[in-house]
Amino acid sequence: MGRWRASLIVARIVSASKSINNLNINHNPPLRSPYSLLISERRNYFLNFRSFSALPSVFPRDAEEFDYSTHDFNRNGVLEEPCLENEEAGKIPVKAFFLCTSVDLKSMQAENSRYVIPQTSRSSNSIALRFRRPPWQTGVEVIENTSCYQYMVVYQYGSAVLFNVEDHEVDLYLQAVRQHATGLLTEMRKDDYAIKEKPLLVEDMQGGPDYIVLKNLDTDSIRIIGSVLGQSIALDYFVSQVDGMVEEFAGINRGMEKTGTFTMNRKKLFQLVGKANSNIADVILKVGLFERSEIAWRDAKYAQILDYLREEYEITQRFGNLNFKLKFVEHNIHFLQEVLQNRKSDLLEWVIIVLLSIENVISLCEIVRDSIGTSV
């Protein structure tokens, strides 16, 4: 046994020295075609088996101790890690955009009627469209699955969520939305997400970092996921609007701290009041942040997806922060309204004082005139 092991070690050292010499000689190996590379890899695969021997050797008692995996070595003989592209290959990209403050869904539905997916609920603040992908993009010609289609869910308050759409195709879909949009934003907001579909999954869904795993992706799942992503990206816009108002009032307060007064006129204050009220109304009424989905109400698996995504995107917590900032804005608005009202009251008081003074002067003039006429 010892002599066999020694001869085996010597043989390995000799073969390793030969491979090193070959590497030192061929610094610039000739380029090979992918087909020739495939043939060489297959040939090397069979050459990597252990040589057979009639001498006894160490044999594992359990079959699980065998290592059936093949390892790839680079030119320097260093073990390379396996490629992780397979994990990204099974993901369906999801892109959410907030590009305007209102979309005419009726006109958009009439123009794209052949792509519209029929509604499964009474909700009228969104439409879902399905587009067939060319077979040369999907690689699927006979079997129908989710990868054969691209989906777009458009919401009345200005969000659009795209499913299975590549980056170079985004502008084409968003242009179709802009044709029916009003109040286009100068800076569009975007968020990315992903979906994995695993039919063998034991549960209906499973969460992951920046993606969700579903047992089956259907149109109702697309509507649920799109609703949360659309609300989230719209909430980001409204939070930025309120942040701007908070910063403006903070500047006014800093100026009052230095000078003891402020120069805002009544019109500007009323504009801020209207902006704050419209933001909170849009979040509650148009975005429907607290409306319960009928799809989730009918089926528990959709309710599970909805609750998970709302927790993942912290919808309730972010609305709480927005509400707190709006209360700060409201408190400042009330304070400034009182100051402006006091200014107006002071002005009226001075006007009354001036009028009374004029009236007193006129009365004195009449008394003096009457006294002079009586003396004469």
pLDDT digits (tens, 9 = 90+) for 310-329: 999 999 999 999 989 988 88
Tell me the per-residue pLDDT of 58-67, one tens digit each, with 9 for 90 and over.
444 444 443 4
Q: Which residue is listed with tokens 């892109």?
A: 95
Query: What is the rounded average pLDDT of the residues 360-370?
Result: 84
Q: Let me know whether 244 and 310 are in one domain.
A: yes
Is 245 within a domain? yes
pLDDT greater than 80 at residue 344: no
Question: Within this chain, do residues 126 and 205 fall inside the same structural domain, yes or no?
Answer: yes
244 and 212 share one domain: no
Domain count, the chain: 2
Judgement on whether residues 109 and 223 belong to the same structural domain of the protein = yes
Does residue 290 lie in a domain region? Answer: yes
Asked whether residue 105 falls in the same domain as residue 224, the answer is yes
pLDDT of 165 above 60: yes
Judgement on whether residues 224 and 249 belong to the same structural domain of the protein: no
Can you tell me which residue has the tokens 């047992």?
Answer: 215
Rounded Cα distance between 365 and 353, Å, is 18
Contact between 322 and 235 (Cβ < 8 Å): yes
Assigned domain for 141 exists: yes
Domain, as residue range, for 121: 89-231
* Residue 93 shares a structural domain with residue 185: yes
Amino acid at 110: A
| 210 and 94 housed in the same domain | yes
- The closest of 147, 127, 131 to 139, measured between CA atoms, is 147
Q: How many other CB atoms are found less than 10 A from the CB of residue 330?
A: 14
Q: Is residue 199 part of a domain?
A: yes
110, 217: one domain: yes
Q: What's the pTM?
A: 0.67
The first and second tokens of residue 1, run together, are: 């046994």
Domain boundary among 215, 231, 247: 231
Q: What is the pLDDT of residues 196-219, one digit of tens each?
A: 999 898 888 998 888 999 998 999
Q: Is residue 38 included in any domain, yes or no?
A: no
Confidence (pLDDT) at 33: 37
At residue 144, the pLDDT reads 54
Of 45-59, 164-178, 232-246, 274-288, the one with minimum mean pLDDT is: 45-59
Each residue's pLDDT tens digit, 48-58: 444 444 444 44
Name the percent of the chain lying above pLDDT 70.
72
Q: What is the mean pLDDT of the chain?
A: 77
Per-residue model confidence (pLDDT) at position 166? 92
375 part of a folded domain:
no
Q: Is residue 358 part of a domain?
A: no
Q: How far apart are CA 244 and CA 239, in angstroms?
A: 9
Q: Which of 192, 211, 231 is the last residue of a domain?
A: 231
Q: Does 53 map to a domain? A: no
pLDDT at 134: 58
pLDDT score for 82: 44
Comparing 177-191, 250-264, 320-334, the range with the smallest average pLDDT is 250-264
Claim to verify: residue 239 and residue 225 sit in the same structural domain: no
Verify that 117 and 210 share a domain, yes or no. Answer: yes
Taking residues 73-86, report their average pLDDT: 45
Please give the Cα distance from 235 to 217 (Å, whole number): 26
Please say which residue of 176, 199, 231 terminates a domain.
Answer: 231
- CA pair distance 173, 161, nearest whole angstrom: 10
Residue 139 has pLDDT above 90, yes or no: no
**In the predicted model, is pLDDT for residue 124 greater than 90?**
no
Mean pLDDT in residue range 89-102: 90
Pair 247, 164 in one domain: no
